[in-house]
């Protein structure tokens, strides 16, 4: 039987999200925790103008139209868009980068404390990705919200994050501050991911892929789900699934042999 909690703290009050009423959850979504989805075009109604999206969101959180327009204009300027042009446009009339900045401004409209972003730069070119990352850094500094960034891009994680969590088979297998995780990984999967990422300089000779394939989530292997692909596997790794063990100052690893894990050596020219 699966069990657990999702704890969220507002000021000094801590509540379990899983026990909240539908009305409490509705107020929390957007008001306390907002989300920017991967595909900005799919996240908006194609037959409504951008102003209508801001209007609907603001009204759902108790704002009047004057306050919505003022807040929307300020946020659109912060993401380097012209409110007079964008608010009267339809989503399809904007470029991919403009749409991504619109949904970012839209998510920030009710002043959330936490902003979740799911692969927000995947469909964008490199220059537009850089613009979005610079905007996120500036917005987080100016508006004071926390950022939860979901990504497969290790370079973005290293640049944006204070703490990083590595997930495998639907579970967090390592968590720690960004420097520890990237320079002193304590889980074999994290070390494997870092070894599989090409460097800016040098050839691809030092890149090493993780052997095998990810498991079927409906038929996970017994014990540690990573053990069939793990270079550190021992006979007892298929007996029980490891908990998150303390592996350093604020670093935790779901590996029985975390103390043996070392960064994979890379070519010195890489």
SS (H, E, C) the chain: CCCCCCEEEECCEEEEHHHCCHHHHHHHHHHCEEEECCCCCCCCCCCCCHHHHHHHHHHHCCCCHHHHHHHHHHHHHHCCCCHHHHCCCCHHHCCHHHHHHHHHHHHHCCCCCEEEEECCCCCCCHHHHHHHHHHHHHHHHHHCCEEEEECCCHHHHHHHCCEEEEEECCEEEEEEEHHHHHHCCCCHHHHHHHHHCCCCCCCCCCCCCCCCCCCCCCCCCCCCCCHHHCCCCCHHHHCCCCCCEECCCCCEECCCCHHHCCCCCCCCCC
pLDDT of residue 202: 56
pLDDT at 125: 80
* Averaged pLDDT in 10-residue chunks for the chain of 270 residues: 76 85 86 89 93 95 95 96 96 92 95 91 80 89 92 84 93 94 94 82 68 91 94 92 91 95 57
Q: Which domains does the chain show, CATH number per domain?
A: 14-160 (3.40.50.300), 163-260 (no CATH)
Q: What is the pLDDT of residue 15?
A: 85
What does the pLDDT read at residue 265?
55
What is the structure's pLDDT at 86?
A: 97
User: What confidence score (pLDDT) does residue 270 get?
Assistant: 36
């Amino acid at each position: 039987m699966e069990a657990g909690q999702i704890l969220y703290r507002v000021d000094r009050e801590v509540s379990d999200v899983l026990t909240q009423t539908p009305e409490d959850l509705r107020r929390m979504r957007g008001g306390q925790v907002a989300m920017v989805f991967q595909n900005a075009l799919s996240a908006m109604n194609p037959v409504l103008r951008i102003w209508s999206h801001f209007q609907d969101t603001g009204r759902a959180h108790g704002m009047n139209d004057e306050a919505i327009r003022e807040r929307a204009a300020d946020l659109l300027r912060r993401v380097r868009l012209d409110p007079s042009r964008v608010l009267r446009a339809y989503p399809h009339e904007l470029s991919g980068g403009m749409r991504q900045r619109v949904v970012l401004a839209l998510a920030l409209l009710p002043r959330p404390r936490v902003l979740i972003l799911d692969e927000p730069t995947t469909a964008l070119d490199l220059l537009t990705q850089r613009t979005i990352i610079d905007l996120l850094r500036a917005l987080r500094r100016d508006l004071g919200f926390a950022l939860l960034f979901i990504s497969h891009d290790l370079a973005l994680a290293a640049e944006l994050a204070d703490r990083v969590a590595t997930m495998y088979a639907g579970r967090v297998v390592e968590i720690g501050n960004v420097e520890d995780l990237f320079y002193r990984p304590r889980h074999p999967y994290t070390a494997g991911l870092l070894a599989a990422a090409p460097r800016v300089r040098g050839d691809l000779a030092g890149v090493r892929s993780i052997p095998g394939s990810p498991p079927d989530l409906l038929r996970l292997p017994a014990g540690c789900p990573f053990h069939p692909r793990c270079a550190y596997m021992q006979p007892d790794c298929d007996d029980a699934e490891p908990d998150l063990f303390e592996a350093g100052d604020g670093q935790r690893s779901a590996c029985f042999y975390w103390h043996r894990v070392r960064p994979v050596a890379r070519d010195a020219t890489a």
